[in-house]
Amino acid sequence: MSYELDPLPYDHGALEPHISEQVLTWHHDTHHQGYVNGWNSAEETLEANRESDDFSSSAGAIRNVTHNSSGHILHDLFWQNMSPEGGDEPSGALADRIAEDFGSYEAWKGEFEAAASDASGWALLVYDSFSNQLRNVVVDNHDEGAVWGGHPILACDVWEHSYYYDYGPARGDFVENFFEVVDWEEPASRYEQAAELFE
């Protein structure tokens, strides 16, 4: 199976002034494409090793699958979590669950921002299917610190390439502007799918 980079669900300039056209072009078209290429390359190595019965490079290829597939999946989620019509707070079942599990939207957001300030990669809101609750997660790189059974609901990329061109070292300003373009319909749909499966 070969993986492909889907086009952005909006124009490259659609999230300005919060995220610039230049950053989206670099980030999606070049950086994200690199993870897709890396995943495909690693899968090809594993397939060739199975055919040749030579597994000397398989451990590295397996690690490359984990790293690159996680990078691809989280970036894909990041693009889908945003839209030019974003910026509101969540409503409906997701809003109710955030209030239940975190006490309030404001408490959830404060904790999510703390995760984003500390991560060397991603801040995620996930549905933890083991504990049956929403949970904020600090993920370094793309796969370090992930929760087993955690289904990502909302992803914020806090690698420097996602914000430094626009905000310099002011990561917190980027995270605040991320909330100006979050389209809560998409995370709400992901939450409802996960809840139907596990509750």
Distance CA 58, CA 71 (A): 20
**Residue 157, annotated ligand binder?**
yes
pLDDT digits (tens, 9 = 90+) for 9-32: 999 999 999 999 999 999 999 999
- Supply 57's token pair: 């490079």
Instruction: Give the end-to-end CA distance of the chain in Å, rounded to a whole number.
Output: 32
Check which CATH number belongs to the domain holding 36 and give it: 1.10.287.990
State yes or no: 27 annotated in a binding site: yes
pLDDT (0 to 100) of residue 20: 98
Looking up residue 106, the CATH number of its domain turns out to be 3.55.40.20
| pLDDT score for 198 | 83
- Do 59 and 102 fall within a single domain? no
Range of the domain at 183: 92-198
Mean pLDDT (the chain) is: 96
Question: Quick one: average pLDDT of 39-43?
Answer: 98
Among residues 81, 114, 133, which one ends one of the domains? Answer: 81
Binding site annotation covers 75? Answer: yes
Condensed to tens digits (0 to 9), the pLDDT of residues 82-121 reads 999 999 999 999 999 999 999 999 999 999 999 999 999 9
Distances (CA, A) of 75 to 7, 14, 125, 126, 147: 12, 17, 14, 15, 18
pLDDT digits (tens, 9 = 90+) for 45-89: 999 999 999 999 999 999 999 999 999 999 999 999 999 999 999
**Residue 164 pLDDT:** 96
Last residue of a domain, one of 31, 61, 81: 81
Amino acid 70: pLDDT: 96
Tokens of 110: 């404060």
Residue 142 annotated as binding? no
199: pLDDT confidence band, cut at 50, 70 and 90?
confident
Give, in order, the Cα–Cα distances in Å from 5 to each of 1, 2, 153.
Answer: 14, 10, 20
